[in-house]
Every structure is written in structure tokens, then in C-alpha cells.
Amino acid sequence: MPEIKKINHVAIVVQDIDEALGFWRDQLGLELDHIEEVPSQASKVAFMPVGGSEVELVQPTDPQSGLGKYLEKRGEGLHHLCIEVDDIDAMLDLLKEKGVRLINETPLDLPGRRMAFIHPKAGNGVLIELYQIVA
């Protein structure tokens, strides 16, 4: 049985990371760990650790991407909640068996991690990312 380990991060979609850091880093006081480009997701992400989790500011790099369209339609704000699991394949299989609506039937492989999204209609309107850290 796959195990949920923790909330890995909360992602906030923003128009401009540098502008958003004016609040999250400069006013609220979170420490910026780093910013990275994520071409596979057409985004730029700022990582700010909070306890054992992170707040991530996510800026679309392509207005025609899913993230870009989301920002255009809904504006800035909470984009998704990321739950870290120990076995993403087993978790996806379990969710499929239970009839949970998924965006990704199989995980996407990125450096150091595997991820998949659960459709927001399954999660009471919340987009949920499943995340597995890999070596």
C-alpha cells in the first residue's frame, strides 16, 4: 500500500516571480532557496522552504501552456497542493482502481523527482500533485 509522506509544497501561480518575491521574501520573510526553469512544465519556479515543506511561486513561461491559460483565466493565487508519496506508481494504480479522475495516468519523470496530477474535480476543486523523490 503506497504511503503519503507529507505535504511537499504549496504552489502559487504568479505573473512575475520577482514582483511576487517582494511580498513572500521581503515582507513575509521567507528565505529564497533558488529559482529554476522547468521547461517540461513551461514554468519558472522560486523555492522557499518552510519547515519540512516549501512555498513555490510558479510563473508561466509560455502564455499558451496549461499554466499560462490557468493564470489568464483565474489570475494569481493558489495553483496546487503537492503531496509527497513513497511510491507514485502504486499510488496512481490505487487511485485508478478507486475511480479517481487523474490528469496524468502515468508519472512524469523530472530530475530527482516523479510527478503526476489528480484532477481538481476529484479533490473538491483543488489541483493535487503527487510527488516522489528519486535518487
CATH code: domain of residue 97: 3.10.180.10
What are phi and psi for residue 71, nearest 5 degrees? -60, -45
pLDDT at 41 over 90: no
Q: What is the pTM of this model?
A: 0.91
How many domains are contained in the chain?
Answer: 1
pLDDT in tens, 75-99: 999 999 999 999 999 999 999 999 9
pLDDT at 111 over 90: no
Stretch 103-109: mean pLDDT, rounded? 95
Secondary structure of residue 133 in the 3-state scheme: strand
The fraction of the chain above a pLDDT of 70, given in percent, is: 100
- pLDDT for position 86: 98
Question: Would you list the DSSP string of 77-127?
Answer: EEEEEEEEES-HHHHHHHHHHTT--BS-SSPEEETTEEEEEE-TTTTTT--
Pick from 114, 115, 116, 113: nearest CA to 101: 116
Distance separating alpha carbons of residues 19 and 59, to the nearest angstrom: 11
Per residue in 35-66, is it b (16+ CB within 10 Å) or e — as a string?
A: eeeeeebbbbbbebeeeeebbbbbbbeeeeee
Host domain of residue 66: 4-133
- pLDDT for position 80: 97
pLDDT in tens, 30-40: 999 999 998 98
